[in-house]
Amino acid sequence: MHVKVLDERVVERAKARGLDVLVYAPHFTRLPEIESRAAQYSDDELTVVPARELFTGNWQQRRHVLAVGLSDPVPDFLTLEGTMEELKRQDAAALVPHPGFLNVSLTREEIRAHRDRIDAVEVYNPKHWPHHNRRAKALASDFGIEPFTSSYAHVRGTVGEAWVEFDRDIDDGAALVRALRAEAPRRVFHRDGLAHRLRCGVEFCHLGYENSWSKVDRLLLQGTEPTHPNHVAYGGRFDDVKVY
């Protein structure tokens, strides 16, 4: 909870690592496409839950919010307040990935402001350095918010490096949302050792690709993002809370 990549090899690796559920939330991909791919790769052994890691704010001050249980598409590049209100309207679970990390995460002040709408805070992420994880744990503890972790896999090899165990069976996306919204008891785990640290290093290095050629490609070569609020698919519904 969650991954960015999804194919047969990802599914095989998840099953080999003993996972029951994957939350699939790729960047800049519209919800219907995510839902379709999640259904395609779900079976009796592994449930793939569709989700969106929403980019709120502008490129210079963007904040990520992981939304699980969306019933309607939500675009990127809305105000943080507008995004949180829409998640409340849809009764979706609102999670804070990689808090306080670089310039892409909710700050302590923003977590405080939206405490009543936040269902979990990520306390371990393979892209983090140790001090990032310590700060994330402190944030979750200080605000009394339940923790979660994820492999945050942008590369297949990271799948299964970190996971959450709930005190109940999670059979589908609705059950996961209920567990998150109800603050169900859970335990957070991650692998350790040299192999794990190397995989974490690969994930961290992937940031260089994300913030160099990948960003140039998105901003300059591909035109309007499919998750931009001006996209025809959103029908102007978010014009009052968009930042672009």
pLDDT 10s digits, 58-106:
988 889 999 999 999 999 999 999 999 999 999 999 999 999 887 789 9
**What residues form DSSP beta bridges with 64?**
55
**What residues form DSSP beta bridges with 189?**
163
The pair of structure tokens assigned to 62 is 């963007």
More confidently predicted of 18 and 129: 18
| Per-residue confidence (pLDDT) for residue 217, from 0 to 100 | 47
Query: Stretch 186-198: mean pLDDT, rounded?
Result: 96
Domain ranges of the chain: 8-234
- Condensed to tens digits (0 to 9), the pLDDT of residues 202-215 reads 988 887 666 554 44
| Per-residue confidence (pLDDT) for residue 221, from 0 to 100 | 44
Does position 218 have pLDDT exceeding 60, yes or no?
no
Q: Residue 52: enclosing H or E segment and its boundaries?
A: strand 47-56
Query: Stretch 93-121: mean pLDDT, rounded?
Result: 94
Query: Stretch 188-215: mean pLDDT, rounded?
Result: 81
Integer Cα distance of 36 and 50 in angstroms: 9
Write down the pTM of the prediction: 0.92
Query: Stretch 178-187: mean pLDDT, rounded?
Result: 98
Q: Which residue has the tokens 């019933």?
A: 71
- Would you place residue 57 in the very low, low, confident or very high pLDDT band (cuts 50, 70, 90)? very high
Complete DSSP assignment for 185-244: -EEEEE--SHHHHHHHHHHHHHHHHHTTHHHHIIIIIS-S-TTSTTSGGGTTTTTTTB--
Q: Is the torsion defined by CA of 235, 240, 242, 243 positive or negative?
A: positive
| Per-residue confidence (pLDDT) for residue 211, from 0 to 100 | 56
**Cβ distance 52 to 30 under 8 Å?**
no
Q: What is the widest separation between alpha-carbon atoms in the chain? A: 49
237-242 — which CB contacts under 8 Å span 24+ positions?
238/74, 238/75, 238/78, 238/82, 238/86, 240/82, 241/78, 241/79, 241/81, 241/82, 241/83, 241/85, 242/75, 242/77, 242/78, 242/79, 242/82
More confidently predicted of 219 and 22: 22
| Per-residue confidence (pLDDT) for residue 206, from 0 to 100 | 80
CATH domain 8-234 topology: TIM Barrel (3.20.20)
